Structure 1
């Protein structure tokens, strides 16, 4: 940080220099920083000492305390993986910023006239638990700027009336403002400024320097399918509308299929359920923007309001081929962004719109119809019909299964934030994320109680924030989360205290610790557990180390660590694969195995659980961060029918949101950013994978609801028992069609429509058992609401249940 006082002599020199050339300037470029930070070529340095007084040509209106924060990121760094990109790339303009919690005004003398302004807001300097919220005002127009922490930049474009010869910009913080610089130009110079200044700078700030970009090669999947005939009407209006199943990846150049052009959007769901629809626009020329509106879905006994349909646009991101891979990328569909009617639609590239229908809990069963209308600027609108069926089923959750996720709770940032605006932001963010977790079927999250090791002579004394944990627990209770909760504890800090070194990656530098290590870890767990019991909190699973290796030193360390945790009378949780022989020595000390693939297989898990008190959880990172953001179909299978076939109790992937540096640049940082994103105001932005989790969660709810209906029907006897037997056959058939795998990702999966058919087959049995009008032709009825089988391109896979109608509409034998 640099805090400055006025230096009048320096100010006069700068002012005289600028005045000598001002009359010749066609534009004005200012870089906010100090004498020690970088200066962007072609820009004029503006320090906090530069005050607009005494005839100065530019400067700050006196009164505000201004600080400079500077941090340059221009080179690769060293990590355990080798050379890695910085958390964001900077140029001299973006590496420094003026920061203040007080209103400030910048003024520059310019040739009289009207100007365009580009204000670069943001900073690279690391801030923890800080939310920047401020207005940038020119004249009577204010634009709000909001972002979290650091390595984020926002571009403000504004009109500036300087007919009096002065350009004025005000910065009004609610918490802090952070501004890197300003460019002013007149309309006649628009093309030149964009080409010479803004485009090159934004390339570095939003992406990376050109010389770095040259090191990354595009590895884009190529769709070699021939284009279908395009109707003259579609050509004349300038774009094509088509559709793919929501779980199919649509790249920018994915070729439409003839049966998918000008589609009817179809789906079925139960009261309270969320169900996705989508359509895709392929413009033959750039469209300057578009609006999307949906009607209410009307049925014979009521309607689903338009407000129950969430409309979003899928954004393409440059993504690594896996989350730590360097040098290759592809453009993939990932975050589902809020609609922006001003955002252009590029020519000759797919733009996908995603609709999520939230069926009201009170919705009557039956058929509903409506429309969605795409209205581009400068081109005719397109209206697509929607046909939606609400089923007379109340889905149930299996109480023996748990859907969780690794999670960084914003309440931690709330506790350490220094201003009220930031505190309010993190508190609201926590509420919105909790609502989002619940809406996606998540009932469990990870947490931690971190403390430094004991000080000398103070055994059993740890500085633990139990009041913050109490607030977290209270929030969990309000939203219905269920334990046990995985609790991280600082075993690594205690190890460092006694061994004088870190554990290393996958505790590769670990060794058998001295007895004092285990004794202190036991005391730490005892203190936490005593407070948990005192306050009536849910059970914790103690999580001392993440992903140990099978190296001899690591195993020796883990044995002593797990013994120390269990000595406190609590349960241990370890992220390791029990099928690896190297972990066999740990088995007596592990209460919960959390393994990345679905391994061991079901029979071995059930046998082990029956023999001793041990549980099996799975963290399926292959459908979270360890991928190129596209295994959407695999994510659904993992969360639904695959989870059903496994012997695992809980799914708990890593992580709800991973930000490494700039959260909107997946190519910077030591690893890719991934999974859910965040709006500037703190609302969650879902990714397609997150939506697939919810659909898998619903698949399993259909299965469990059917199982419960079968059990009830058996008890009733008679015809109900016969119907139960038939339903059991259908469930067994679906069970046998699952191609069991340790990791459901891309290969050897059901096609997305195939999964829908199996869901329908289960739903039909529920309706039969509950006397709600189930029919004997499940796929035929399914197709009447989700489209003809001919649209299901590619491999069908396993054959249909004998006696039903096949996915292609042909009777089976």
Structure 2
């Protein structure tokens, strides 16, 4: 056939394929699935069911090997698209089941593409990393399917689901994308799901294997000599103990002697997580745990319906985010009864929630443990409800760095934070900007106002801190002003004022602005000085910096909130901040492999420092695979994991320990407040006795921040030190004994009851 005729026929075939593509897309819609066949004008049409949002970042229609496609342009910041929403749950557009995304593409790149799904909140402009596609560079057409956990995808408008891809290193042809849910009406659904999970396991194993090369496995610590099992333990095939949630546990951990019974002391309105540790003597198969509702003459505590989560073991970095040491540890708490064998401790976690107004007294219930191949146990549970409620300062106390953009936050994340005692955010509360008239900026405040309203409704408090890191440049470019000009300054201030007005309308009296993170170098300090000066010159605005001594030495005259990294905190620093008329705060890592660190720093240590607030970094920042802690430049910065079961992320042992620390602080605050009231009422003796108890509890705590931290946290505070390798040995001498926390709470609770009894 002549070449011209062949080209003509090829062109006709391509045009026919393009014309047929929209019909193909409609024909493949069905219950809980949607196929987007690329290669038509509809790809770029915002009214089409599926379409690219960043149309300038995709190429023209092409054809190769019988496949019509669109090529993703290489080296783009991100390529975005929308697909129709379906199978949504009743709240906030969350998907109601696990989803999957099958991508058919030609694998021509040597590096994999990174796929993201939108849910709002922390991540990459509201999107969370799903996984990788391609990267073999073998030129073959392939179809790979990504798993989308329930907590990783949400519709913002109830009509569409949004996705993104980056790390595009070649003009990669994409022929189709099939989005479907677990119960989709697809003939090959089960095969696709099986292959998706197999691919995920394969990629995870490969990432771990690559990362282990050149890394040091610390192994498990020596747990000490195990005690002889009782005859009852031997008969049923397991022993049980109840360690505090803040105790660092390993596969070989043993009872400590003080955790033989399930006894819980708790206030009305308080929540506590209870661990049930099961040491198998023989192979038990699947194990189940269930609680009855504890009851007393005062009523009943709903516990039987509380979800039971089991600790999932994974390989985690030990040390700084750039450490070369690792150890297998339990962390992720997820649903589903596990198989428990003698070589690995089984750890179940249940959260006890006592409602406001619950009557004081002891409530009794039962814990039932069943096993597939062993015996069963029915153990007593005691819940003592204390005769007082915990108090809270009028201002925020516990914050979280939450890297959201343009006030697009996940309601599920915010609820989860409040459930764990977080009442303050360091986050992105900026409006979207566009050019305004006469060297001003136009602002879309819709999301900002809605988010402040939601934060207030959930119980967040002042101050809220908004990141303004790029705001000076964004204002300059949108207002079309000269850098540093009066017009530039006025436009910048107008944005801060609009944010503060939105905050005040919802009852947030104080708002801080955070322009530069950890300014250690002279250029960063100079940048912070300019930004903080502009912030301070805006009426009502307050400046916030993640501080270090060098920066504060320059910036203090223009600082309102001095948020020191924990490693720099000392009593002298606190005195200097107070003398300057500023407010002392501190921040620390949330991702320490030892849960006790989170409880210690958020609780009694914070109570001793006199700081107004403390903040944790971070919530859910993943490098790549959610369960491979070293497949990126640094460790994953997360205290939650994607959930396969619900729209809220799964917690971790570290996250539950944060809540314990928050309540430790509130016990200390409640005793101090009760003592102040007693003194004001003329009960000086009772006040003195109460404060003596508090001082006695806090006496063992070293106020020097670097001693409350670890050597590795000094590296986290200054990434220029990331090549340093401190001794990986855990210094248990810097932490309190596991039972110290409970005994300290009990002493404080008893003191609260005593001082209240002396009231007229």
Q: Is 1:529 the equivalent of 2:493? A: no
The Cα of 1:123 is off from its aligned counterpart by: 8.4
Which of 468, 477, 495 is 2:447 aligned to?
468
Alpha-carbon distance in structure 2 between the residues aligned to 1:455 and 1:133: 30
Q: Tell me the TM-score normalized by structure 1.
A: 0.65
Name the structure 1 match of 2:238.
239
Cα distance change, pair 327–260 in 1 and its aligned pair in 2 (3 A): same
Q: 1:514/1:583 Cα in 2 relative to 1: closer, same or farther (>3 Å)?
A: farther
Per-residue deviation at 1:763? 0.9
Aligned to 1:763: 749
C-alpha displacement of 1:4: 8.6
CA distance in 1, matches of 2:349, 2:757: 34
Instruction: Show structure 1 runs of 5+ residues with no match.
Output: 9-31, 36-44, 51-64, 78-85, 100-118, 135-145, 152-169, 186-193, 415-429, 499-512, 774-813
Change (3 A) 1:391 1:217: same
Q: Secondary structure at the match of 1:652?
A: strand
2:400 maps to which residue?
A: 405
- 2:269 is matched with which residue: 256, 268, 272? 272
SS in 2 for 1:481: coil
Tell me which of 381, 393, 411 is aligned to 1:431.
411
Which SS does the other structure have where 2:698 is aligned? helix
Name the counterpart of 1:634. Answer: 597
Compute the displacement of 1:212 (Å): 1.4
CA gap 1:49/1:523 in 2 versus in 1, 3 angstroms: closer
Alignment of 1:674-753 (within 5 A): 674-680=638-644, 681-717=646-682, 720-743=683-706, 744-745=708-709, 747-753=733-739
- Map 1:309-328 to 2 at 5 A: 309-322=306-319, 324-325=321-322, 327-328=324-325
- Indicate whether 1:644 and 2:607 are aligned: yes
Q: Structure 2: which 5+ residue stretches go unaligned?
A: 1-12, 19-35, 40-63, 70-100, 114-128, 167-176, 710-731
In the TM superposition, 1:2-81 aligns within 5 A as 68=104
TM-score, structure 2 normalization: 0.70
Pairwise mapping of residues 633-672 of structure 1 onto structure 2 (< 5 A)? 633-672=596-635
From the CA coordinates, give the structure whose radius of gyration is larger.
1
Deviation at 1:70, TM superposition (A): 6.8
Counterpart CA distance in 2 for 1:517 and 1:176 is 59
Asked if 2 retains the 8 angstrom alpha-carbon contact of 1:518 and 1:561, the reply is: no
Confirm or deny: 8 A CA contact 1:270 1:390 kept in the other structure: yes
CA distance in 2, matches of 1:546, 1:608: 19
1:547 lines up with 2:518 in the alignment:
yes
**Conservation of the 8 A alpha-carbon contact between 1:444 and 1:483:** yes
Matches within 5 A, 1:269-668: 269-307=266-304, 309-322=306-319, 324-325=321-322, 327-338=324-335, 340-341=336-337, 343-400=338-395, 402-409=397-404, 430-450=410-430, 459-462=439-442, 464-491=443-470, 494=473, 516=484, 520=488, 522-530=490-498, 532-533=500-501, 536=505, 538=508, 539-551=510-522, 553-580=523-550, 583-597=552-566, 599-602=568-571, 604-606=573-575, 608-609=577-578, 611-621=579-589, 624-625=590-591, 627=592, 629-630=593-594, 632-668=595-631
Contact 2:396–2:461 (8 Å) recurs in 1: no
Given that 1:605 and 1:648 are in contact with CA atoms closer than 8 Å, whether structure 2 keeps it comes out as: yes
8 Å CA contact 1:308, 1:358 repeated in 2: no
Q: Check whether the contact 2:566–2:587 (CA below 8 A) recurs between aligned residues.
A: yes
Paired residues of 2:367 and 2:381 also in contact (CA < 8 A): yes
- How many angstroms does 1:644 deviate by? 1.2
Alignment RMSD (CA, Å): 4.7
Please report how far the alpha carbon of residue 728 of structure 1 lies from its aligned counterpart in structure 2 after TM superposition: 2.6
Q: Is the 8 A contact 2:249 2:330 kept in 1?
A: yes
Partner of 1:510: none
Distance apart, 1:184 and its partner CA: 6.3
In 1, the alpha carbon distance for the partners of 2:320 and 2:37 equals 34
Check whether the contact 2:264–2:384 (CA below 8 A) recurs between aligned residues: yes
Greater RCO, 1 or 2 (C-alpha within 8 Å, sep 6+): 2
Structure 2 CA distance, aligned partners of 1:560 and 1:410? 23
Displacement after TM superposition at 1:490 (Å):
4.6
Larger mean CA deviation between 346-355 and 738-747 belongs to 738-747
Shift of the 523–231 alpha-carbon distance from structure 1 to 2, 3 Å rule, reads same
The alpha-carbon deviation at position 675 of structure 1 amounts to 0.9
